Amino acid sequence: EPEVTQTPSHQVTQMGQEVILRCVPISNHLYFYWYRQILGQKVEFLVSFYNNEISEKSEIFDDQFSVERPDGSNFTLKIRSTKLEDSAMYFCASSPTGEGPYGYTFGSGTRLTVV
């Protein structure tokens, strides 16, 4: 069964450092998403990406964050200057279409710890 692959599974970084979280979505999916889950809290939407551009972003997704699909397969989330409050589990997901009764497939997540 096709999978969404995320790397690394764990990342520890110092405050102020840049991190790049990587995702390989399912190859024939067209919509890509990043979500995050702070420990003990619910999963929150960060950003959706379609046709090589951001289609929607949440208030959380400020100028510190950026996404790109550099080579047509990888989908990356960059956090420019990490803060302690960026510590969370980050999930990538992909979907064949943006809406309607079609499924999402989630990656297994990257646990980011900012120290």
Binding footprint of other proteins on the chain (CB under 8 A): 33, 35, 37, 42-45, 48, 55-56, 89, 91, 93, 98-106, 108-109, 111
Beta bridge partners of 81: none
Residue with Cβ nearer other proteins (40 or 71): 40
CB of 51 to other proteins, least distance (A): 14
Residue with Cβ nearer other proteins (16 or 98): 98
Residue 40 gets the label, from left (phi > 0), alpha (psi -120 to 50) or beta, of: left
- Opening angle at CA 57, ends 51 and 46, nearest 5: 105
CB of 16 to other proteins, least distance (A): 25
CB of 55 to other proteins, least distance (A): 8
Q: How far apart are CA 30 and CA 18, in angstroms?
A: 27
Residue with Cβ nearer other proteins (82 or 95): 95
Residue with Cβ nearer other proteins (33 or 65): 33
CB of 89 to other proteins, least distance (A): 5
Query: Which residues, 6 or more positions from 33, have their beta carbon under 8 angstroms from its beta carbon?
Result: 45, 46, 47, 48, 49, 92, 93, 94, 95, 104
